[in-house]
């Protein structure tokens, strides 16, 4: 009984809950809400992508810095080893 009443209530053309203008306003309002949600999702995606790119770039800079430091430490170590050998010979 409920389903019969419900289906006649929804599909009834004689009783309109909203006028045509109100239906258009509801559809436009829904479209605006959906577009706003999509805009927020797109903004968040761009922000997360930018943050991820910045993290990768920072990691590369850090790795390059560590490589340079390692080279400098290796050079200093070689120079120190040479000095130690000279001192042992003398």
For residue range 54-90, what is the model confidence (pLDDT) as tens digits?
999 999 999 999 999 999 999 999 999 999 998 888 7
pTM above the 0.85 mark? no
Q: For 5-34, what is each residue's pLDDT tens digit?
A: 555 555 555 566 778 888 899 999 999 999
Type and span of the H or E element at 51: helix 20-89
**What six digits make up the tokens of 83?**
């000095």
Backbone φ, ψ for residue 2 (5° rounding):
-65, -45
C-alpha 14/C-alpha 19 separation (Å) is: 12
Quote the pLDDT of residue 21: 86
* 67 neighbors 59 (Cβ within 8 angstroms): no
């Amino acid at each position: 009984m409920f389903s019969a009443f419900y289906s006649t209530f929804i599909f009834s053309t004689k009783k309109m809950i909203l006028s045509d203008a109100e239906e258009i306003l509801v559809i436009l309002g829904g479209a605006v809400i959906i577009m706003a949600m999509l805009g927020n999702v797109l903004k968040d995606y761009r922000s997360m992508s930018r943050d991820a790119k910045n993290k990768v770039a920072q990691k590369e800079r850090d790795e390059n810095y560590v490589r340079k430091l390692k080279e400098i430490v290796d050079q200093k170590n070689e120079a120190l080893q040479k000095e130690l050998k000279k001192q042992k010979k003398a």
